[in-house]
Amino acid sequence: MTLSDVINVVPPNETVTVYDYNTGEILIDRNTILYEFSKIEHLEVCCIEVGKCYGDLIIGVRENK
């Protein structure tokens, strides 16, 4: 599953955090990722979690090989 598959079904006002699954680096942490999405849309989703404190969507991604 690619990141674009997931983002296309997330309501636009939801908080989404996208991080590199291998390094833990935060790639995008924002309420709307449309303006930066084209930079990382090629990434493959490894995991999807819901944050315990704020109920935000947390997506772990890695390079699609």
As a dihedral over the C-alpha atoms of residue 30, residue 60, residue 35, residue 12, rounded to 10 degrees, the angle is -60
Contact 25, 42 (CB under 8 A): no
Q: What is the pLDDT of residue 20?
A: 92
pLDDT in tens, 4-57: 888 888 887 788 888 999 999 988 876 655 556 667 778 899 999 998 887 889
